[in-house]
Amino acid sequence: MLSGLFARNSAAKDACSVVAGDQAAPADRTRTSGDALLQALQTRRYGLIVRGRQQWLQHPHFQSVFEEAVKAVDELFALVPEGMVSLSLSTFDQPGQPETEVPTAAFLLARHAVTNADYQLFVDAGGYQQLEIWPRDIWPHLINMKDQTGQPGPRYWRDGQHDRRLARHPVVGVCYYEAAAYAAWAGYRLPTDAEWQMAASWRVRGAADAQRRYPWGDGFEVGRCNLWASGHGGTLPVEACPEGAAPNGVLQLVGNVWEWTDGEFRCTDRDGRLVVGATLLKTIRGGAYDTYFPWQATSTFRTAADSMARSPNIGFRCALDLLTN
């Protein structure tokens, strides 16, 4: 076994990964029953329940459902304390380049990226047909958000179903708008660019203005995340690489898949010229299994993808504002 910064695992594929060419195993479809509140619980739309509780106060099972949803949120999300981040405004990542300081309030961030199993609930519930959760100017583009067999769904699915062997892997092949729609459907939202960086850098307000280069600390270690150097060549389950967790237990902020954030990418190049994309650029963070440079997966590295891009290495996780009594 080699050692060093770019040591590569000689076992090219993790046991949980799917080898190309293997027969796909479609996942089961979701079946729900009962009224809207009970269906929301069955489809794990906990954010919808806890944030929209006023509309269900008279429901006979509200109290038990609400408690279950709160408990689920407590398990699935972690607190990110308030802080301050410096967002780079230049694509030339060198000291002295323009930055902006952005304060972040405390919020809840999902411990894992959204999985294929999670997203299946959205698809089976007809998420792509619920126009109210999509921006109006995106409606004409919904027709393009199809899987390999022409069914509504992430790009790499088939027949509207994910491969059950990848149930716990992050969902990929979804554009920014699909990520935002899922979050809205579930009662959550996408983290902002600054919030994501706060979660990864842990720059908590205090006398010591310290931040982490990576969620686990300042030194890159190939075993703590899934980047190109890790040698896996594909996504891993969202529970993998526990040694790379942030202080609050959030996993895989770095590596595995890039993550959409709710931020428009506005940067200048080294000569001060505005950088634009062929279409609207949305910020993505964290690096993925095919990220070659570890320094392009740090807590402060900002990059982007076309908002309509449905890439095999971009997923997302959800955020939630703190719940008030």
Partner 1 sequence: MSSTVSPSFTACLICGTRNQPKATVCKECSAPMALVHEAEAQQRPPRIVSVVGDSNVGKTVYLGFLLDMLSQRANQFEAIPRGAYSVDLPQNVISHMAYRMFPPKTPVESSEWNWAYYQVCKRGRSPKWVDLVMPDMAGEAIAAEVAAPSTFRVIEQLLARSSGVLLLVDAALAAHGSAQPDFFGVKMLSYLDSLYTTDRRKRIEVPVAVVLTKADYFPECFDDPRRFAQANLTRLCNLCESRLAKVEFFATSVVGALGYATSENDDVVTSIPLHVSLRGVLEPFEWVLQQL
- Interface residues toward partner 1, by CB under 8 A: 2, 6, 8, 10, 12, 91-94, 155, 228-229, 258, 265, 267-269, 271-278, 281, 288, 290-293, 295-296, 301, 303-306, 309-313
Q: Which is nearer to partner 1, 29 or 273 (CB)?
A: 273
Q: Which is nearer to partner 1, 11 or 322 (CB)?
A: 11
Min CB(256)–partner 1 separation in Å: 13
Q: Which is nearer to partner 1, 2 or 207 (CB)?
A: 2
Q: How far is CA 153 from the centre of its chain?
A: 17
SS3 102: strand
Q: How far is CA 115 from CA 101, 229, 253, in A?
A: 32, 23, 14
Q: Which is nearer to partner 1, 30 or 303 (CB)?
A: 303
Min CB(92)–partner 1 separation in Å: 6
- Contacts (Cβ under 8 Å, ≥6 apart) of 170: 112, 113, 114, 115, 116, 235, 238, 252, 256, 257, 315
Q: Which is nearer to partner 1, 107 or 265 (CB)?
A: 265
Alpha-carbon distance of 255 to 46, in angstroms, equals: 26
The residue count of the chain comes to 325
Element (H, E) at 68: helix 62-76
Min CB(109)–partner 1 separation in Å: 22
Rg, the chain, Cα only: 20
3-state secondary structure 16-41: CCCCCCCCCCECCCCCCCCCHHHHHH
Q: Which is nearer to partner 1, 245 or 308 (CB)?
A: 308
Min CB(293)–partner 1 separation in Å: 6
Q: Which is nearer to partner 1, 51 or 266 (CB)?
A: 266
- Contacts (Cβ under 8 Å, ≥6 apart) of 204: 81, 82, 83
Min CB(227)–partner 1 separation in Å: 11
SS3 244: helix
Alpha-carbon distance of 165 to 83, in angstroms, equals: 38
Min CB(176)–partner 1 separation in Å: 12
Min CB(82)–partner 1 separation in Å: 29
